[in-house]
Structure formats: C-alpha cells, structure tokens
C-alpha cells in the first residue's frame, strides 16, 4: 500500500545526491500529470514544464545556477516556467485582441508555477524518488536561452528528481504557533526568538544574506525585471 499524502509530507527532506538510475517514462509521466492537475487561477494554466533528461543540458543548467552538482547528477531536472506564449497564441486564434502581459500576469503565473511544482514534488516523493527545488529566477534568461524558449516564457523553478543516494535529517521548521494562527496574526510574544531558534547560529548569516541591504533578493529583483522586459513582459505597473 502506498503511503498517505500526509505521511509523505512528514518525511520530506531535500535530496542532493542521486543514484545513477534513470526515471522510467511511466513514472515521469505520472509526476508531470500531477503537476498538470494542480489548481490554476481561472484555469489559465500559464505554466510549461520541460523535463531535462539530456546530460549535457543538465550540466549547462548546473553551471547557470552556480555549480549545483545535483542539477547535473539527477537523472531528470524539471524546469517550471511562467508561460504566456501559448495563451497569447490561443487568444489570437480565438480572435481576441491581447495586450502585452504585465506584472499581474507574471505574479499569477509565478504562483501557479509554485503550486504545480509542489504537486510534482509530492507525486515524486510518493513514488519513492528524492527531490530538491532549485531557484532559476536569479538568472532566468540564461535558462530560457539554453532551452530555446520563446518570448513570454520565463523559467522560475527547477526540480531535481531521482533515486536518493543519501538520507539527510529533516530540517527544522518554524513552530506551529508562529507559523499559523486562528482568526488573527500569531502572538508577538517571543515571535522573533522562536523563529531564530530553528536556525544554526540564530539565523544571523542567513538574514544578512537575504534581508540585508543589497542582499540576494535585491539581485533577484534586478535580474527578473531585466529578464521580463527581454522576454516580452511589462515589468512596471500600467
């Protein structure tokens, strides 16, 4: 009997070492079908998934994302992209005059990418595979160019999939009392200390990197805005 969804979630760990075993076509199709069945705003499904099985392409992708070897070593690397190319084509075929997609369109697609990739990850883990998410949004245009993606398609999330070759311990999560609350925001009492407590060194290095001046996400914002404009999106509010 296969494990329940909740059991699979409770056992989740990120896997960065994989066995040299291919993912059978039927399993890959089941993972992709899970992503395809994910909820989508207006049922627009502004998402496209590229299953990268070619070793050379995976090696190039690993270099683009900063030399992350698990991208090259996983037998399958799924690239989830925000995709308005096919929707614009469908609109034209329907005789509808369309505008250049903007930030609102991109945000909706980014949310749908997150949901679809999460469903794919859960399906993969239920099938006994290990997975790890990889950010592609820091340099999306290089990924798009490598894969020959058309305008209005922006890669955002990668998912490495394969049989695990390691058994890491689950990473700590924020306590439930600061992660969720009923009818109101969680109590401010010791809120910051409870969040800091789950990080080695109290989170100082991490917070400086992602929340400090000119941090990682400032770089991401600049790269995304530049790429969106290159890929045919309006990167400013109308």
Domain 5-170 - what CATH class? alpha beta
Mean pLDDT of 109-125: 98
Residue-wise pLDDT tens digits, 183-212: 999 988 899 999 999 998 999 999 999 999
Mean pLDDT of 77-103: 96
C-alpha dihedral (13, 19, 25, 30), degrees to nearest 10: -10
pLDDT class for 236, splitting at 50, 70, 90? confident
Boundaries of every domain in the chain: 5-170
pLDDT class for 35, splitting at 50, 70, 90? very high
CB neighbour burial string for 200-212, b if at least 16 within 10 angstroms, e if fewer: eeebeeeeeeeee
Residue-wise pLDDT tens digits, 210-229: 999 999 999 999 999 999 99
- Local structure of 156: helix, strand or coil: strand
Q: What distances in angstroms separate CA 199 from CA 48, 63, 89, 103, 217, one per listed residue?
A: 34, 28, 46, 33, 19
- Please tell me the distance from the alpha carbon of residue 58 to that of residue 25, in angstroms, as a whole number: 18
Residue 233 has phi, psi (to 5 degrees) of -100, 150
pLDDT at residue 188 in the model: 86
pLDDT class for 1, splitting at 50, 70, 90? very low
pLDDT at 2 over 60: no
Q: Which residue from 2, 31, 47 is spatially nearest to 122, judged by alpha carbons? A: 31
> Percent of the chain, pLDDT > 90?
94
Mean pLDDT of 83-92: 97
CB-based burial label for 61 (10 Å; 0-12, 13-18, 19+): buried
- Please tell me the distance from the alpha carbon of residue 225 to that of residue 208, in angstroms, as a whole number: 23
Q: Which residue from 60, 36, 58 is spatially nearest to 113, judged by alpha carbons? A: 36
Pair 75, 161: CB distance under 8 Å: yes
Residue-wise pLDDT tens digits, 150-176: 999 999 999 999 999 999 999 999 999
pLDDT class for 4, splitting at 50, 70, 90? confident
C-alpha dihedral (126, 127, 131, 133), degrees to nearest 10: -60
pLDDT class for 237, splitting at 50, 70, 90? confident
pTM value > 0.85: yes
């Amino acid at each position: 009997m296969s494990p329940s969804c909740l059991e699979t979630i409770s056992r989740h760990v990120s896997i960065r070492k994989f066995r040299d075993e291919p993912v059978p076509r039927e399993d890959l199709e089941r993972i992709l079908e899970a992503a395809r069945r994910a909820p989508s705003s207006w049922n627009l499904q502004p998402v496209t998934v590229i299953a990268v099985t070619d070793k050379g392409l995976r090696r190039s992708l690993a270099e683009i994302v900063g030399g992350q070897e698990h991208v090259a070593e996983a037998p399958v690397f799924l690239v989830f992209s925000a995709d308005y190319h096919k929707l614009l084509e469908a609109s034209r075929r329907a005789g509808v005059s369309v505008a250049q997609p903007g930030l609102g369109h991109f945000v909706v697609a980014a949310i749908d990418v997150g949901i679809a990739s999460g469903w794919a990850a859960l399906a993969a883990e239920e099938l006994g595979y290990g997975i790890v998410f990889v950010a592609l949004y820091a340099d999306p245009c290089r990924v798009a160019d490598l894969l020959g993606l058309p305008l209005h398609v922006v890669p955002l999330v990668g998912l490495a999939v394969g049989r695990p070759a390691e058994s890491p311990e689950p990473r700590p999560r924020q306590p439930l009392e600061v992660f969720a609350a009923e009818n109101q925001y969680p109590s401010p009492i010791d809120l910051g200390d409870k969040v800091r407590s789950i990080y080695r060194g109290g989170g100082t290095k991490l917070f400086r990197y992602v929340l400090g001046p000119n941090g990682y996400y400032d770089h991401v914002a600049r790269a995304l805005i530049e790429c969106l404009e290159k890929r045919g999106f309006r990167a400013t509010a109308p």
